[in-house]
Amino acid sequence: MNQWFERLTEQVALAHDEATVKATLEKLSREAGFGAYAYLNLQAETQTAISNYDVEWQQRYFEKSYALIDPVVRNARDQLEAFAWSNEASLRMSKERRNFYGEAGEFGIRSGITIPIKTGFGRM
């Protein structure tokens, strides 16, 4: 699995366009047995998303600025290592986050693995 992570991070970091990133994510996700993927590049000036999630979910995610409350995005910014997550609601979780996870679950997004990829100047 370490080789898979290395290939993923290396190939995505070296990709020069969206089509190459998408093809890489499709291929490597399938190899690892994942049915879905989402790549978010969250810079201060721009946000890029490449995903095979339902288009309606992707539109909702950006229209409602869910990157600001998405616990997975927050954890990815704080951690330098891959981590697993699930949308199991916790009583300590805010109502806003519970609602977010509920909406994501309606689109089949209930758990996953996130791999933060740091780029130059501390960006992700």
Non-local CB neighbours of 79 within 8 Å, separated by 6+ positions: 116
Task: Name the band, by pLDDT with cuts 50, 70 and 90, for residue 17.
Answer: confident
Instruction: Tell me the pLDDT tens digit for each residue of 77-116.
Output: 888 788 998 887 666 788 888 899 999 999 999 999 998 8
Instruction: Tell me the pLDDT tens digit for each residue of 22-70.
Output: 998 999 889 888 889 998 887 767 778 899 999 999 999 989 999 889 9
14: tokens are: 């070296």
Place of tokens 């539109």: 59
CATH class of the structural domain 35-122 = alpha beta
Note the pLDDT of residue 124. Answer: 45
E strands of the chain, at which residues? 38-42, 47-51, 83-86, 111-114
Instruction: Tell me the pLDDT tens digit for each residue of 95-106.
Output: 888 899 999 999
pTM equals 0.79
Tell me what the pLDDT averaged over the chain comes to: 85
